[in-house]
A and B are shown apart, each in its own frame.
Chain A
């Protein structure tokens, strides 16, 4: 995951700043799923990715 985010920062900086802050942390209200599992339930940003994995960035939605 870390390498994927670094690649995003290099290739798509405008998208990257929407997903991560200056410290490299994924923004508080952005959920990252690797296939169907939340990144935090794996090894967070150190989660290894395998060929064919699908990574989903999903902003949380709240309110009435």
Chain B
């Protein structure tokens, strides 16, 4: 079978799937799937027969997870979406991240309010991951302008990196069971302590395929120059780690200003 290029595009109008031959001369566009409903995250899962997942974030009727088993020719809802346990008190407001888990049928899902869910059956049932969702820091995380969201999940073998706005970067080294705040060098210019243990407004984290342990981060909350009260504040939030996210250093020199937008476009692609 000829190789095909497949892209997924999450939009406010639903999910689009673009497909092209390897030459990429011309893309055919399918969709929108989940029409009229925002898609905050999609995942092309190439473990085994490819499956495409997408979050369908309906402010009226709640959250759904869509799945396609034919490379985006059609989609159906999985049997259930992540939901907080009865009596927890939290309600799902958005699905921000989908990522492949360790096992072939395992999926990870980051949501708002910032919590992590795991599915072991390709999205049909979900369980909360208490190691981060009920972390002792969780009650002190604050929502940013986009809400209190877990927007980034990066899996690297037994390591799982999470980005939370505003909670910062959390790292698991036991396959995603327990998590530790890992924000050494990551600034929070809007906090009294500009380098707190957690609480940073991390916007995006990405890994480097060809350099194990190297990560890039876009973090909101720094200034190129600051002469105001409190003395020197953190630099613009573009950082790099070379030790699996344990420590970070700024690579912002030459950049014009801090960016409030949740993206970083000069980084390599994520782990796969």
B80, closest chain A residue (CB): A17
Main secondary structure on A side of the interface with B: loop
A22 engages B60 (CB within 8 Å): no
Count chain B CB atoms within 10 A of each CB in A17, A19, A30, A60 and give the residue with the most.
A17
Whether A18 sits at the interface, judged by CB under 8 Å, is: yes
Q: Once the chains bind, are A22 and B91 in contact (CB under 8 Å)?
A: yes
Interface flags for B53-85 (1: CB within 8 Å of A; 0: not) read 000000111100000000000000000000111
- From residue A22, how far is it (CB to closest CB) to chain B in Å? 5
For B, the interface residue count at a CB cutoff of 8 angstroms equals 13
Complex-state Cα separation, A17 to B60, whole angstroms: 11
Instruction: Give the distance in Å from the alpha carbon of A17 to the alpha carbon of B83 in the complex.
Output: 10
Would you call B62 and A23 a contact (CB within 8 A)?
A: no
Of B59, B84, B89, B92, the contact of A28 (CB 8 Å cutoff)? B59
The smallest C-beta distance from A7 to any residue of chain B, in angstroms, reads 17
Q: Which residues of B contact A21 (CB under 8 A)?
A: 62, 91-92
Question: Which of A22, A25, A30 lies in contact with B92, CB distance below 8 A?
Answer: A22
Chain A residues in 8 Å Cβ range of B83: 17, 22
Which residue on chain A has the smallest CB distance to residue B58? A18
- A29–B62 Cα distance when bound, in Å, is 10
- Residue A59 is within 8 A (CB to CB) of chain B in the complex: yes
Query: Given A21-B91, A22-B91, A25-B91, A59 and B86 touching (CB < 8 A)?
Result: no
Extra 10 A-B pairs, beta carbons < 8 Å, given A17-B61, A29-B60: A21-B92, A22-B90, A22-B91, A22-B92, A25-B91, A27-B60, A28-B59, A29-B59, A30-B60, A60-B60
Q: Which 4 pairs across A and B sit closest by C-beta, in order of nearness?
A: A21-B91, A18-B61, A29-B60, A22-B84
